[in-house]
Amino acid sequence: MIEFVRMAVSRQPALSLKKNQTEHRIMKSDWKGSLWIGTRYNGYRLQTTGSIATILDGEIKRLQGNHNGENKKGYKFWYVDDSHIVEQIINFFGRI
């Protein structure tokens, strides 16, 4: 597990974390959708799904720039090298 992700989520009581084999899924109760975080080479891959994408995508773009691609369902993803940006996004998600 990416330890800083677990720590950042634990500081946000409204968020919960699930881990599968390769990714971390961060959810917020009463919200549809998730923030997915996976490791990638020397960085991370972030993807938003569901209704939270409309809010989080703008914040991720502000911090990281344009998305790197979209999956088959049209959900955007970003490649992020800086763990501090990932932590800022988790904190933002917890506050909204």
> What pLDDT digit, counting tens, does each position of 9-19 carry?
999 999 999 98
Q: Tell me how far apart the alpha carbons of residues 32 and 43 are, in angstroms, rounded to a whole number.
A: 26
Q: What is the pLDDT of residues 61-73, one digit of tens each?
A: 999 999 999 989 8
Average pLDDT over residues 12-41: 90
pLDDT at 27 over 50: yes
Q: Residue 48 has which token pair?
A: 């938003």
The domains of the chain are located at 3-95
Give me the pLDDT at residue 92, please: 95
Contact 60, 24 (CB under 8 A): no
Residue closest to 63 by CA, chosen among 84, 77, 48, 43: 84
